[in-house]
């Protein structure tokens, strides 16, 4: 079963109903794959919320597994930044990628600018932006 870690861009795209990321959520909600997010993405999402969006935000995050930051992720994030170059990989992106790697998940993102150059050496799956909005995949009842 595929196991994915959805980055901040992927979570925002789903929350906003953007179609490019929908297939991943359809598979997660259908039980065909596992979905998770990094605590770093959660921080990034909270900083961008507008008043009144808190309940929808909490509901979205409750459908996925949270990967908390720990010593191993901190160390791996530092190694990733050192390997890629401090000017090429931000600290949040390094922590998100480290969270995916150390939990055995593929990072799912639309952020080709930051993660595209790393695809040869890391499990990263890029999806494309599809203009317009579509219906959000619906989680199973009771999920």
pLDDT in tens, 117-139: 888 889 999 999 876 656 555 66
Q: Domain residues of the chain, as ranges? A: 3-126
> Which DSSP state fits 122?
S
The strands making up 65-67's β-sheet, listed across from edge to edge, are 65-67, 34-38, 3-6, 106-109, 124-126
CA distance 2 to 32: 7
Closest to 27 (Cα-Cα) out of 143, 142, 139, 141 = 139
CA distance 129 to 28: 19
CA distance 66 to 62: 9
Q: Which CATH number is correct for 3-126, 3.40.50.2000, 3.40.50.720, 3.40.640.10, 3.40.50.1010?
A: 3.40.50.1010
pLDDT in tens, 57-91: 888 899 899 999 999 999 999 999 999 998 899 99
- Cβ-count burial of 41 within 10 angstroms (0-12 exposed, 13-18 middle, 19+ buried)? buried
pLDDT value for 130: 74
pLDDT in tens, 20-30: 999 999 999 99
Mean per-residue pLDDT of the chain: 90
């Amino acid at each position: 079963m595929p196991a994915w870690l959805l980055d901040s861009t992927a979570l925002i795209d789903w929350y906003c109903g953007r179609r490019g990321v929908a297939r991943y959520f359809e598979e997660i909600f259908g039980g065909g794959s596992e979905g998770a997010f990094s605590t770093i993405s959660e921080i990034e999402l909270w900083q961008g919320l507008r008043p009144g969006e808190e309940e929808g935000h909490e509901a979205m995050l409750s459908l996925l597994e949270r990967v908390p930051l720990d010593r191993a992720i901190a160390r791996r994030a530092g190694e990733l930044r050192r390997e890629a170059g401090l000017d090429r990989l931000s600290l949040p992106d390094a922590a998100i990628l480290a969270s995916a790697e150390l939990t055995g998940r593929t990072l799912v993102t639309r952020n080709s600018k930051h993660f595209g150059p790393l695809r040869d050496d890391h499990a990263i799956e890029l999806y494309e932006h599809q203009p317009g909005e579509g219906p959000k995949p619906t989680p199973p009842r009771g999920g």
